[in-house]
């Protein structure tokens, strides 16, 4: 990475920002819940966005009024992950969310640092299926994290891997816990999705299709008076 020309960085969440895998996580978790004799709604699924695998399982079990030993939880999470992996195998570049690939291209052309900041341990195969791995100067995902969002670890590791101060980075997130993590880390927080569900974000876009690089950069500049 040509450090001297990259003085700001964009850190992208994966699920819900670059690709809509939330619906696939939902299908796989629902299959698990159904196998345990209960169901949960799409609205409840919203609460799982950006939440790590075991924390998601704990929430789902509480919705179904079920308990499991730690060993049973690991087995259940592994089963869900196998079902999820069957689903992501069918992803193609067409499954990138609207505007995502164009925005990555525009950021790369402007020589902005590009990092991934995802809680998912399946981020690499998803990026590969979408054909966008090469856009990233740094990839931070669930495999290397000790703390889940809203802890800022994922984004701090992303800024550090780009050799940028956190204040020189903007985070693009679809989950409330992710916006909280970005703000805790001292970064600009850009909400992707409904303004109502992400009240703490400093700027909102419905999708990356509406996102404007200059608006984001001007917020980063304000963050560095």
- Interface with Mg ion (CB under 5 A): 13, 15-16, 50, 174-175
> Rounded to whole angstroms, how far apart are CA atoms 68 and 45?
20
CB of 222 to ligand B16, least distance (A): 26
CB of 171 to ligand B16, least distance (A): 11
11, 24, 33, 51: which one binds ligand B16 (CB under 6 A): 51
Query: For residues 15 and 137, which CB has a smaller minimum distance to ligand B16 in the complex?
Result: 15
Query: For residues 25 and 129, which CB has a smaller minimum distance to ligand B16 in the complex?
Result: 25
Q: Residues 177 to 216: which contact ligand B16 by CB under 6 A?
A: none
Single out the residue of 115, 102, 109 nearest to residue 168, CA to CA. Answer: 115
**Among Mg ion, ligand B16, none, residue 168 binds (CB under 5-8 Å by kind):** none
**Residues in CB range of 17: below 8 A, 6 or more apart:** 97, 100, 172, 173, 174, 192, 208
**Among Mg ion, ligand B16, none, residue 223 binds (CB under 5-8 Å by kind):** none
> Rounded to whole angstroms, how far apart are CA atoms 156 and 137?
14
Single out the residue of 95, 102, 163, 151 nearest to residue 126, CA to CA. Answer: 95
Q: Is 138 a residue that touches ligand B16 (CB under 6 A)?
A: no
Q: Kindly name the residue from 7, 13, 128, 141 that is annotated as catalytic.
A: 13
Per CB under 6 A, the segment of 51-59, 61-69, 155-163, 212-220 that binds ligand B16 is 51-59
Element (H, E) at 140: strand 138-140
129 neighbors 25 (Cβ within 8 angstroms): no
CB of 53 to ligand B16, least distance (A): 4
Report the residue number whose CB is nearest to Mg ion.
16
**Residues in CB range of 9: below 8 A, 6 or more apart:** 112, 113, 114, 115, 137, 158, 159, 162, 164, 168, 169, 170
Query: For residues 7 and 83, which CB has a smaller minimum distance to ligand B16 in the complex?
Result: 83
CA atoms within 13 A on the CB side of 173: 33
Query: For residues 15 and 180, which CB has a smaller minimum distance to Mg ion in the complex?
Result: 15
Per CB under 6 A, the segment of 2-10, 48-56, 179-187, 217-225 that binds ligand B16 is 48-56
- What strands lie across the sheet with 138-140, from one edge to the other? 138-140, 113-117, 9-12, 169-173, 188-192, 203-205
Residue 141 annotated among the catalytic residues of the structure? no
Residue 196 annotated among the catalytic residues of the structure? no
Catalytic annotation, residues: 13, 15
């Amino acid at each position: 990475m040509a450090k001297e020309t990259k003085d700001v960085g964009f850190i992208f969440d994966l699920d819900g920002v670059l690709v809509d895998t939330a619906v696939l996580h939902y299908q796989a978790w629902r299959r698990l819940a159904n196998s345990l004799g209960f169901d949960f709604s799409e609205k409840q699924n919203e609460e799982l966005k950006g939440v790590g695998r075991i924390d998601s399982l704990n929430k789902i079990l509480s919705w179904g009024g079920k308990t499991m030993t730690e060993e049973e939880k690991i087995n259940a999470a592994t089963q869900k992950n196998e079902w999820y992996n069957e689903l992501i195998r069918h992803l193609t570049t067409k499954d990138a969310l609207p505007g995502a690939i164009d925005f990555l291209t525009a950021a790369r052309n402007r020589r902005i640092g590009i990092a991934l900041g995802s809680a998912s341990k399946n981020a690499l195969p998803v990026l590969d299926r979408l054909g966008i791995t090469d856009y990233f100067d740094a990839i931070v995902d669930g495999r290397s994290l000790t703390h889940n969002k809203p802890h800022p670890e994922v984004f701090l590791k992303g800024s550090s891997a780009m050799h940028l101060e956190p204040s020189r980075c903007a985070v693009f997130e679809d989950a409330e816990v992710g916006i909280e993590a970005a703000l805790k880390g001292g970064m600009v927080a850009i909400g992707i999705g409904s303004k109502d569900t992400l009240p703490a974000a400093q700027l909102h876009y419905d999708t990356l299709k509406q996102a404007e690089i200059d608006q984001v950069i001007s917020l980063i500049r304000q963050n560095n008076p």
